[in-house]
A and B are shown apart, each in its own frame.
Chain A
Amino acid sequence: MTTPLKDVTPAERARSTSFYEASARTRLELLLDAGSFVEFIGPEQREVSPHLKIFDLPEQFDDGLVVGHGRLDDAPVFVAAQEGRFMGGAFGEVHGAKLIGLLRAARQIASMPVLILFDTGGVRLQEANAGELAIAEIMRAVMEARSAGVKVVGLIGGRSGCYGGGGLIAGCCSALAVSEPGRIAVSGPEVIETNRGVEEFDSRDRALVWRTMGGKHRRLLGAADVFADDNVQDFREAALELLGLIGPFALDSLKAEQERLADRLSRYGACLDAVDIWTAQGIAHAETVPELPADQFITLANRIGRTSRDAR
């Protein structure tokens, strides 16, 4: 006699699914309350990029961004998830416009939060001008939504990280959750190496990439508020936690951010490596931070790390 397979609850499935490995659609399905996701302009409408054919490149029916609404612990939320496996999750005209429309609606409603699941290398080169402008419009739309009282939360833990203009949009969000592989930066490792030489940044030195741009450093620095383990359930819990913490946005938030960033420059501006910054933060054996398992790291980060609460 065989024992019947136990039903796997959505939470268990989300707990056992790597956020890093999952597709944008799987992330949304497991992040939100089961069955609650409804997409706007789904792939069946085939709203593809009008520019990729100039380069004989394949299109994707959702242009690499999934937007819609759903529920998180029964509360309605808007969501946008980038697909890092399509053109590195890069921003093009259609991809960007979907997020802009979502943020404009959120601003009008003024009470429904927006979750952005970043997974992007930045501007899509083949439509660089449209992508750059879309990012500028998104930054403006995020700030207009936040000024109207909307909470905008960024979740960062995908294959493509959060680079280029994606990093600037992340910097506009009310709060961020990041996992260890979720890198946040403007210039990517290869871009720095190409422009400044391998002595400035060796893009093949993966340990250097993680400790300079990775989630642990961003959490300790106060760039991200919550550190998530690399599974969808952890990101769900992080999103819920952040939605409960975010305060109103006003001029004082920007004044506090100015102070927070200026303070960072004066404390760590002369540091040459992330390990020097962590040591200056008072972490003993800072060189072991990259190896710490998530639970131990979170304990350390909560004790030592800064947060950007009310200062972003």
Chain B
Amino acid sequence: MTLDDILASLFPKGHEIRNDKGVLLGSATLRRGDKMLVLGVADRTALGVDEAIRLSGHVLASIGRDSGPILVLVDSDSQRMSKRDELLGLNEFLAHLAKVLIHADMNGRPTIGLLYGHSAAGALLATGLATRVLIGLPGAHPAVMDLPSMAKVTKLSMEALEKKAKSTPVFAPGLSNLVQMGAVHMTWSNDASLADQLEVLLADMPAARDQRDTLGKARGGRLKAADIAERVRDLALQAR
């Protein structure tokens, strides 16, 4: 599905979303008539300081002005890998975007990420992984780390890595692996109206509490994370 197809299916009542060199900013009208703030990265654009500051600014400008949920569309490259971006403090810009999304979510503006293409590393952390509910569309192909780079670092052949990837979701790229880890909450269908699926989700949003580790445990992707976190929390609470 192209971005235009996705937007048409999500927002049959119309939207005002502009794509300016891969940065998506705007808003849309939901079925029941209320507005949804929309932002995102399209066309596999790298997320650098210039893109991130516009995205965070779009969310901050809507706080106090609008109400309603926030949608983050993701088809990005990795973070922009450049001297200039690092020189200017890319880590702060990406963290700031994530913080703004998390803060909005915690304060009455539930956030939904829609991963419909690629994403990786710092770009995914600052967008989809900073939302309360991350949805994957069929065909999305996130890669925290690509296999050729992994082959280089681990000094294993691509064949050996691909073989290992069959036995565990823990390192290899792909949407289904991120679902199993608990990073992606659910996948939607391309065959049904996305507006219908969005409506179902909005009517029954999970609580704002981060439940990705229990999700990962239930799906068999991360068997230790939830228990270790819980044990440390208990010990720390006893220690005060």
Contacts and interface: CB of A to CB of B under 8 A. Distances in A.
B91 to A, nearest CB: 3
Contacts of B156: 55
Given A69-B239, A125-B153, A196-B81, A132 B225 contact: no
A186 B239 contact: no
Nearest to A147: B106
Nearest to A171: B95
A192 interface: yes
B164 A269 contact: no
B171 A76 contact: no
Given A94-B224, A102-B236, A265-B50, A129 B169 contact: yes
Interface in A38-68: 38, 40-41, 47, 50-51, 54-55, 67
Contacts of A201: 82-83
B125 A136 contact: yes
B121 A123 contact: yes
Contacts of B102: 139-140, 143-144
A255 B227 CA distance: 36
A67 B216 CA distance: 23
B82 to A, nearest CB: 6
A297 interface: no
A200 B240 contact: no
Contacts of B49: 261, 265, 269
A212 interface: yes
A118 to B, nearest CB: 11
A85 to B, nearest CB: 17
A128 B150 contact: yes
Contact of B83 (A102, A112, A212, A312): A212
Interface in B82-138: 82-96, 98-100, 102-103, 106-107, 121-122, 124-126, 129-130
A170 B102 CA distance: 16
B103 to A, nearest CB: 6
A144 to B, nearest CB: 7
B236 to A, nearest CB: 3
Contacts of B81: 187, 191-192, 195-196, 200
B92 A171 contact: yes
A305 interface: no
B224 A93 contact: yes
A96 to B, nearest CB: 7
Given A69-B239, A258-B60, A47 B228 contact: yes
A196 B79 CA distance: 13
Contacts of A93: 170, 222, 224-225
A40 B232 contact: yes
A51 B95 contact: no
| Most chain B beta carbons < 10 A, residue from A100, A131, A223 | A100
A165 interface: yes
B70 interface: no
A254 B99 contact: yes
A186 B90 contact: yes
What band does the interface of chain A fall in when counting residues whose beta carbon is under 8 Å from B? 35 or more
Task: Classify the interface of chain B: helix, strand, loop or mixed.
Answer: helix
Interface in A253-306: 254-255, 257-258, 261-262, 264-265, 268-269, 271-274, 277
A251 B63 contact: yes
A108 interface: yes
B226 interface: yes
Contacts of B76: none
Interface in A168-199: 168-172, 184-187, 191-192, 194-196
Contact of B171 (A100, A125, A217): A125
A201 B84 CA distance: 10
Contacts of A101: 228-233, 236
A192 B130 CA distance: 24
A192 B121 contact: no
A133 interface: yes
Given A123-B121, A143-B106, A168 B91 contact: yes
A73 B70 CA distance: 44
B122 A129 contact: no
Nearest to A93: B225
Contacts of B68: none
Contacts of A106: 236
B223 interface: yes
A105 B233 CA distance: 5
A101 to B, nearest CB: 3
Contacts of B94: 167-168, 171, 186
Contacts of B103: 143, 147, 251, 254
Interface of B: 49-50, 53, 56-57, 60, 63, 79, 81-96, 98-100, 102-103, 106-107, 121-122, 124-126, 129-130, 144-145, 149-150, 153-154, 156, 164, 167-172, 177-178, 181-183, 210, 212-213, 216, 221-237, 239-240
10 contacts: A55-B154, A55-B156, A98-B229, A102-B233, A128-B170, A132-B183, A186-B90, A186-B122, A187-B79, A262-B53
